[in-house]
Structure 1
């Protein structure tokens, strides 16, 4: 990027700077550039033309964004350019590399990309040139050829249609001329008849003016003979027949003409194809002859190659048969093992079916016993319900008796102590009877 304003040399401060040192960040004139390169400590600095550098953004790009210090290192873990303070602070435990090593690798990648881009640009330019040279030119040639064919076909059709039109118009004109001649002949004939009728009409008028009877009679008799010889007035002729124009016929004739032209053109194209095919066949025959001659020359080498291939084939065949035999033996052993496993499977299946049948019988028996037990339990439950109902009825009767006893008058209330004395002792239980027997 070109520098807008001239900058003075930072060393001599007299001449305009024409170079720029990235490490020193100074503009240098031509003389100071030579002196700068002679100093051993500064010989490794990067010096470039100042007109290709944008100095307004150069200082910002060479400084760290965090600490505003000169970038000196590269963090391989973060892939960032860092300064000396970043090394001891945020990137302290990271792997640090020198910028020169990283830039060297990046330069190699950039050169590879440059070569690839050059190849791609060359390929694109060659493709464009090929498109311009072959495709567009071929398109133009084919288009012109197609337009020529269209023009020739249209011209042929136009000439054919004009010829057909002239033929049809001449047919109509000839028909009109013939019909006009017929009408003229008819008019001439009717004109003669009309003159004859006019003549007899005038004679009749003159005879009717005759006063003498004999003269009238003789004149009328002669006129009457003429009247009998008069020709009958001809009938009106029919309208002239104009030949009908059948457009379908014209279309069909045009289509037939087009088909014939197309067939002719197809035959011509086929002839051209046959010519090209014959030429290709000749070229192939010549190539075949040359190949046969070359094969004859290399016959011994090919024979040796065939023998080597045959020997390899025989070896492969023997190994294949050997492997096939071993595979057959393995298949036999596997089939025997499968048979044994099948027999074991059948025996296990039969034993399993017997066991399942026994279990089914036991289950059926248990289910029958369970049904019987459930019936007994249901019966016992019914008996218990009946007993509970009887107990309830007895309780009700006892309550009723108590109510009646409380309702009896006081003189008739019995003495409870006397009743207790007269009460019959309860019957001893089974346990008490056993104790008495033991004592």
Structure 2
């Protein structure tokens, strides 16, 4: 700022027009020589005017006028945190702490500068989180593609009835993938909004420090403070994709379902159980009469699951005939009615 102000060309005194105007009256917005300044300050109506050296002012800066007195806001009341003119100061801000607007602006800039690097760090952190999220997404999709290929490879060895099971297994994977990709889309939206908000705050503060004039900066003092405080609410991404695996089955006609294998979801929640239970083929009927779910918490019991599935209104699933839990191997099998007898859900 000082370098830019030092380039202000010399002006003639606008009063006598004979000498160089090295002093600038902020209230009158005129250049004065030292002699004319002394006479100016002796006038009763101008005795409170504020002068600055030529190298300290920026004549291109837009001045804020007092709406009541139409005077320049040359002072800053630190008690009230507001700009005031030379008439408001003695009338409404008696015994208040005050300083020149330029001095207050310099102090505020000094206070703002340390926060810029902190906000840049927040913006960089969000960008890194987005990159990490995208990497997880690609890895998740690639893993699922390999999983689908394995399911189809196994299904190609079977005949028409096996093909039907294959479609169900693939649909199960795709359903889980879509559920998680939908979560990713929402996570991406939150991070994108957070990054845009952080970049907006950073841009606003950087612009205030580097480009705004003193009076405009002080007018935006409170909004800038509030904007910086909002940076603490920036979102943090904690999305983790579940790991899906495929358990190979044996080619035994009597155990047709096991021939295809089971898609395993590593992060099991009630919502995951509902999704798994609702897998169905194109005509809306279950492809198999059971599914296997793993990863329950230690508090989950077989009786608790039975009670849960007994209440269709709570579980959102119908047609469950039995629930068997194997605590040692950490899985449970949910059995359904015969496929033909199950109502579309």
Shared topology, TM-score over 0.5? no
Higher helix share: 1
| Pair member with larger Rg | 1
Higher strand share: 2
Q: Higher RCO, 1 or 2 (CA under 8 Å, sep at least 6)?
A: 2
